[in-house]
Amino acid sequence: MYKYFSKLITVIALLTMGLSAPVLAQNKSKLTQILERGTLRVGTTGDFNPMSTKDTSTNALVGFDIDAMNQLAADLGVKVEFVTTEWATLVNGIVSDRYDIFAGGSSLNMARAKTVAFTNPYVYAGTVPLIHKKDAKKFVSWDSINNNNVNVAVLMGTVFEQQAKTLFPKAKVRSVEKPATGYQEVLANRAQVTITSNVEAATLVKTYPDLLVVGSVTDMKNKRPFAYPVIQGDAVWLTFLNNWIALKEAEGFFTTLEAKWLSSKK
């Protein structure tokens, strides 16, 4: 009887070990999984210039967040693998374990925060005014734009449409429909000002030398933090990333990336 009981205990123990192995694997932190796998999987859309975009000459991903993730992988001592995703499936990609982190200019969003966790902010985006270079002396601040004689063009249906009406109650705010854009109206002298994000403005002023940003980064309105979305419930991975962001900020790494990718200076 004892012999059969002993065998039964052995079988149960083996079954328990077999069943617990996958559970243990699932309970491993992303940090442990990444180090064991030797690869950091990064979800990105590649359509948000200059945060994450494709270089048409090489078809390689480039941008602020691409540089950041390459550095993160290097600091982890692993290779980076970029996984193409879309904004609509960003959260699903994290939850379904398609990638370990999303990087590509995601603002801290409370709707998404119900499903995914966010790291500490690493950079801030905000609204800036764009004008024609010839009007540089005329428009030197936000206040100088809020004038009855000023025409502000914004794309209809965007957040900037309502912002313009709030920020410039005295100015003539005109909403334009696609394919027109606010900055094209400024270039064509059909408007004197448009507003957009500092992220887009950084690319526009380099593409169109006649455009100029009014003020500096510190003058941005409607500031919002950019943070990296990751899986909820993994305190080890989130803590590691927050420590990494803090260290890189102290080293000036993100300041260097801002100067490289988000500067509106030509």
Q: Per residue, what are the HEC states of the chain?
A: CHHHHHHHHHHHHHHHHHHHHHHHHHCCCHHHHHHHHCEEEEEECCEECCCEEECCCCCCEECHHHHHHHHHHHHHCCEEEEEECCHHHHHHHHHCCCCCEECCCCECCCCHHHCCEECCCCEEEEEEEEEEHHHCCCCCCHHHHCCCCCEEEEECCCHHHHHHHHHCCCCEEEEECCCCCHHHHHHCCCCCEEEEEHHHHHHHHHHCCCEEECCCHHHCEEEEEECCEECCCCHHHHHHHHHHHHHHHHHCHHHHHHHHHHCCCC
- Separation CA 171–CA 182 (nearest Å): 15
Q: What is the mean pLDDT of the chain?
A: 89
Q: Is the pTM of this model over 0.75?
A: yes
Token representation of residue 113: 């925060």
Topology of the domain comprising 125-223: D-Maltodextrin-Binding Protein; domain 2 (3.40.190)
pLDDT in tens, 6-65: 444 344 444 444 443 344 346 899 999 999 999 999 999 998 889 999 998 898 999 999
Lowest-pLDDT range of 12-16, 91-95, 202-206, 240-244: 12-16
Ordered by start, the domain boundaries in the chain are 9-122+227-262, 125-223
pLDDT in tens, 222-238: 999 999 999 999 999 99
Do 9-122+227-262 and 125-223 fold alike per CATH?
yes
Which pLDDT score is estimated for 4? Answer: 43
Which pLDDT score is estimated for 216? Answer: 76
What is the amino acid identity at position 165? Answer: K
Which pLDDT score is estimated for 17? Answer: 43
What is the CATH architecture of 9-122+227-262?
3-Layer(aba) Sandwich (3.40)
At residue 27, φ and ψ (nearest 5 deg) are -85, -5
Q: Contact at 8 Å (CB) between 229 and 105?
A: no
Which pLDDT score is estimated for 266? Answer: 55
Which pLDDT score is estimated for 157? Answer: 85
pLDDT in tens, 89-141: 999 999 999 999 999 999 888 889 999 999 999 999 999 999 999 999 999 99
